[in-house]
Structure 1
């Protein structure tokens, strides 16, 4: 198809009159906005089942939902009088007018879901009302009209079947089929939220691929307790790491932080219940994949609440994310759920008050339960107390370190402060001692732990003493001859950068910066063109244009005698070859002119690593490494290369290390160590399915499993062999990490982070070291290897392998 066919033609006709779009077109346009994904389709059907009072909901998928989706329940069923209006647009039994929306307690209320699903798929319903003796099968067309009705055996309840979802929208259907695994995982995450909050409802989900066995993905027991539902979905291991949410009123500092006035705050507006992870390092998650928020039992995505919970958690566990399941109960007149078609975005009155309550409650929970000083950190506590006793001997009045439970020592801040203090004080003991003797007005560590001294931190708006502590440790620079605690002693904290510059063989090397550069293009003179060159230039004047430019003095009926000229054209193969060469020279000249603009602008600086990598990815292809010319070796650690007029510097150790690392990643098969007794993994049903689908990748990583297809969900897989390699041992934590990585990119070979660390360590030891003299052939080999690996721009430890130095054309 030509390019012109894709461009809509510009009509010279006057604009048409405004008319109403026909109802069928409106139906199709709007349906695509209501149901956006597989997750939305399943969500709407499950919500209908819960609204119908079902206690048992079964979701069955074929080919992860690409072929068919069935949702069955044991709810009230549909009365015969409602068969016709069941799938019509804006027909619902859940509200009568707009005023009912304020007090709506059902999940659905718009009357759009089944109508939209009719427009997007082939929909049929089998239902049996509680007053009926036999069920009825209903078949609907894409407009939502009932086209077939027949008796069908069924217990009380309803089953809705969707076949070929999105087949009426060809582009979306193609994308849906291509990304079915991602759509499936999103659907599972949405379904998990209903499994958690729907107490007293047993929800199961299963999937069947091809003619294989149907495998259960999710299953709850219908418990009346949210905690039991969490255990049924994520296993007992997740339950062990959870704290029950304890709501406390907001403190004065946090009320002031959010700009609230204590006197005007409504009392008992919000009631928050649920569970969050403990702040210990090993119990968090590597992503936010297990965070569920509900407002009045309705799953939603409150962005500000999510951000706040993660920020507070990072004050205690910086490198992980919490498991969260929180239900916020609030008066229905303070909530607007009618914001988006999927009802996931919700507007709240007094949202700042909710955030203040959440922040105070979470900090209170973690201060009480997580970061108390325990016996493992007794040495730090002893050092604090000893330093305090020494200061008291000099006659200074001091308050005790621990006055009340409210002023308990914070372990995270204390550890961070002391680890920095010990690392910097080893070489500066005399200097620190000298400073201590010469300054009479020192403040002790009590002020640091109590938060009584207000430091100038990077974020002056933060009033929480805990956050002050952490940010002070991060922001205070370790100056030459100073420890981190010096800033606390003087009551100051500076966020300015110190002048500690790291010595490096590569130090801010870049070509001269040109603020404005205009390339000069030599255009050939028109006067010297010959007739042959004009013919060769391929500028053909359109026929219509010739007719317009010719003087039209004669009429159409007059006979015309065309004036024809005979021109003899000389053909010579040598001239043709010469013209081809000239054309190639012109193209080369144009390519050279393009090079006059600066393609590489990033400086050799840690702050510009990302922009430098993006430039290299854009300008350097894998084939170009073979074409690079070796200039020489610099400082016995760096290779200088030339590509056309660009000069590059390559770190010989980092380059060789990355090549060795990727070779180890691709070709190493870890050997397994058999276990005496098979070990239960207690994986969730979703995780079990990911493991079973990618079993070969686990075997390449050295894991062997005993699989029992007939066993209960979460007990189908047992570990029988673990990978070991010299001093490295691996375990269930590495299996969970692999499962998480494979859920995002199924079928792609990947390694756990600890395996990558082991490979990185081995690759580092076997690579060419800095200080090793290399021959030209050895340097060429290292450069060519860069074109054979996937990511040649960084070594496994993050150091850059290659940077642009200068462009010779610009310099000259």
Structure 2
């Protein structure tokens, strides 16, 4: 019987290894940019076509390679960074495993042009499917240009797994941002399909953060800097008011390498405890420097996950450094009492404090006890002034006109609503967030935002399925300036937004004009709505099971819904309830959370031991 085990051909073995390192165009971006940094470049250009599927090119002015090195760099495990096993535990460079170029050459057509400063001519090499097709001398500037064309041309199954161009471009921008953030002293540019998306001049870390994450952080960051013998930490953290509902602006770097660490993120979040809502995420860009022997960077193929020798020390250090920074810059909150907005509506607050009322107040013994010297402790027995202290805070009673508001009819088919709801029931609002709706056998407690989200979600779903939502053009279009990564997202959403009543058009680099919005929506707030819509969309993007249209409808429903803390008139409450109980599914929000809870009389009596 013939033997079964054979050695794989080199090109097949390389393709399998490539799957570890090169999963999508963005993976190659990371590897090539890091190689350029390691080469000592001061200027690095990234050029993209067709979201990296057609072309992905990195040009640097670094040290370049000799003819022999240029040929060797495509071999598996060929590296200039490691000579013996001890070197593996003292890694300061970005790349070191020697598999990036071999992996790229296994799944793409690669053209390399490189030259060292001391050489008269450079070297040109063409490789595809792990085979060198051409090698010759060439005139070139000092540095290296490496172009990767037709990614996965020889692995069609993997090419089919790539997402839309907009989605792949978002991943590329993410990787570019991480490397550019880590090395602010290097000039970086990113050009996509002939349009320059980024031009990042060399400068300070703060300048680089603002260039990448937006001008709104310019005055809203605190400096984090702590040095010890064991480790140093430096960077910036956002003030509590900049915290968002979505992740995205959180960056940890260990020895200048971007890492993902839920453990360190938890340390930082604990520093913000009670300063921001539990479901919000602060912005931070933090660099940790420590001895390479204290950290293992080779526990994951992409090197984004690492292992610390002593995690607890690092955790405590990050937490303490951020806490100290927030305290030092006086951004810790003062005592903040939750003031019910309805208090502002009381007549005692609304009515002017007239001279007549002022005179009446100042003549009481209570007032005099606090204003005369050594009288604050004095309380007169049987004081008439004390008996009427409430009069100070009560407005004079003025007869109010009685306005009868007739209840609108609630449809008989109350989908998923408890039976026995009274049509003419009086409605109450609690904490400007919940609506109490009496029914024949108890009452419903309705969450107004969840109810409105359900209503809007069903309206938008039906409207988009039938025909585009009616749009009203703006006389004065709002201008929206976005960060490059958010601009990529909005560009992707423009066709779907048009179906939902928003006409958005590109207007130069990273700038858009909002030319129209849904006709039945209040106008003047379009800029804020679209801005927040992008945040909500990023939040829903983690749910892979949703289509783009579904994410957008959910985002719009969340953004346009009346928020908790908003005071509603009785007419508005009644309209909300009417609309809710005409929904196909009235008892849950689009996310599956309860819209209302029912409290029955027998339950209430049982709770009170009756």
| Counterpart position of 2:313 | 353
Alignment of 1:395-414 (within 5 A): 410-411=334-335, 414=336
Contact 2:124 / 2:135 at 8 angstroms: preserved in 1? yes
Superposition pairs of residues 31-110 of structure 1, within 5 angstroms? 31-110=18-97
Counterpart in the other structure of 2:337: 415
CA shift in 2, pair 1:166/1:313, >3 Å: farther
Are 2:187 and 1:198 aligned?
Answer: no
Larger CA deviation: 57-66 vs 232-241: 232-241
Counterpart residue number, 2:353: none
Counterpart of 1:147 (choices 133, 137, 140) is 133
Deviation at 1:734, TM superposition (A): 2.4
Name the residue aligned to 1:289: 248
Q: Who is 1:333 aligned against?
A: 293
Shift of 1:78: 1.6
- 1:220, distance to aligned residue in structure 2 (A): 1.0
Q: Please, which of 265, 280, 284 is the counterpart of residue 306 of structure 1?
A: 265
2:274 corresponds to which residue?
Answer: 315
Among residues 186, 211, 215, which one is paired with 2:171 in the alignment? 186
Matched, 1:739 2:534: yes
Q: Is the 8 A contact 2:416 2:587 kept in 1?
A: no
Partner of 2:230: 269
Question: Secondary structure at the residue paired with 2:272?
Answer: helix
2:214 to 225, 235, 246: 235
1:361-395 CA distance string (max 9 Å, x none): 2233334445556xxxxxxxxxxxxxxxxxxxxxx
Partner of 1:663: 459
Distance in 2, matches of 1:156 and 1:687, equals 35
Q: Does 1:755 align with 2:560?
A: yes
Match of 1:124? 111
Deviations 1:97-156 (A, max 9, x none): 11112222211111110001111111121223222334432111322x422023444322
Task: Report the alpha carbon displacement of residue 278 of structure 1 after superposing the two structures with TM.
Answer: 0.5
Question: What is the aligned residue count?
Answer: 485
* Residue 170 of structure 1, CA deviation: 3.2
**CA distance in 1 between partners of 2:497 and 2:456 (Å):** 22
Q: Which residue of 2 aligns with 1:217?
A: 197
Q: Which residue is equivalent to 2:144?
A: 158
Q: Does 1:635 align with 2:420?
A: yes
Aligned position for 1:688:
487
Q: Which has the larger strand fraction?
A: 2
For residues 539-597 of structure 1, what are the alpha-carbon distances to aligned partners after superposition, in whole Å with 9 as ceiling and x for unaligned?
xxxxxxxxxxxxxxxxxxxxxxxxxxxxxxxxxxxxxxxxxxxxxxxxxxxxxxxxxxx
Provide, for residues 675-699 of structure 1, a one-character-per-residue CA deviation record: whole Å limited to 9, x for no partner.
4xx7664421232343344445556
Which moves more between the two structures, 156-165 or 661-670? Answer: 661-670
1:269-320 C-alpha deviation (Å, 9 max, x unpaired): 111000111012xx12221111111111111112210122234335311142
Q: What per-residue deviation string (whole Å, max 9, x for no partner) do you get for residues 475-513 of structure 1?
A: xxxxxxxxxxxxxxxxxxxxxxxxxxxxxxxxxxxxxxx
Secondary structure in 1 matching 2:46 = strand
Q: Distance in 2 between matches of 1:104 and 1:794?
A: 53
The aligned runs of 1:290-689 (5 Å cut-off) are: 290-318=249-277, 319-369=279-329, 410-411=334-335, 414-415=336-337, 634-636=419-421, 658=454, 662-663=458-459, 666=463, 668-669=469-470, 671=472, 674-675=475-476, 681-689=480-488
CA distance in 2, matches of 1:179, 1:720: 26
CA contact (8 A) 2:456 2:557 kept: no
Distance 1:187 1:371 in 2: 35
Contact 1:195 1:203 in 2 (8 A): yes
Structure 1 CA distance, aligned partners of 2:34 and 2:115? Answer: 18
Distance 1:670 1:801 in 2: 33
CA distance in 2, matches of 1:192, 1:688: 14
Question: Could you tell me how far apart the structure 2 residues matched to 1:752 and 1:634 are?
Answer: 27
Contact 1:55 1:74 in 2 (8 A): yes
Contact 2:239 2:331 in 1 (8 A): no
Query: SS at 2:226's partner residue?
Result: coil
Query: Larger Cα Rg: Structure 1 or Structure 2?
Result: 1
Take 1:37 and 1:55, find their aligned partners in 2: how far apart are those partners?
26
The answer to whether the 8 A contact 1:125-1:160 is kept is yes
Tell me what 2:382 maps to. Answer: none
Greater relative CO (CA pairs within 8 A, separation 6+): 2
Separation (CA, whole Å) in 2 of partners of 1:277 and 1:229: 15
Residues 25/415 of structure 1: CA separation in 2 closer, same or farther (3 Å cut): same
After superposition, the Cα gap between the structure-2 partners of 1:732 and 1:81, relative to the gap in structure 1 and judged at 3 Å, is same
Partner of 2:350: none
CA deviation profile, 1:436-478 (whole Å, cap 9, x unmatched)? xxxxxxxxxxxxxxxxxxxxxxxxxxxxxxxxxxxxxxxxxxx
Task: Provide, for residues 643-697 of structure 1, a one-character-per-residue CA deviation record: whole Å limited to 9, x for no partner.
Answer: xxxxxxxx9x99999467622563654646544xx76644212323433444455
Closer, same or farther: CA 157–357 of 1 in aligned 2, 3 Å: same
Cα shift at 1:763: 9.1
Gaps of 5+ in 2: 345-412, 424-443, 542-546, 599-610
CA distance in structure 1 between the partners assigned to 2:454 and 2:332 by the alignment? 42
Does structure 2 conserve the Cα–Cα contact (< 8 Å) formed by 1:658 and 1:763?
Answer: no
RMSD value, Cα: 4.2
CA distance in 1, matches of 2:142, 2:549: 42
Does the 8 Å contact 1:194/1:299 carry over to 2?
yes
CA distance in 2, matches of 1:204, 1:330: 30
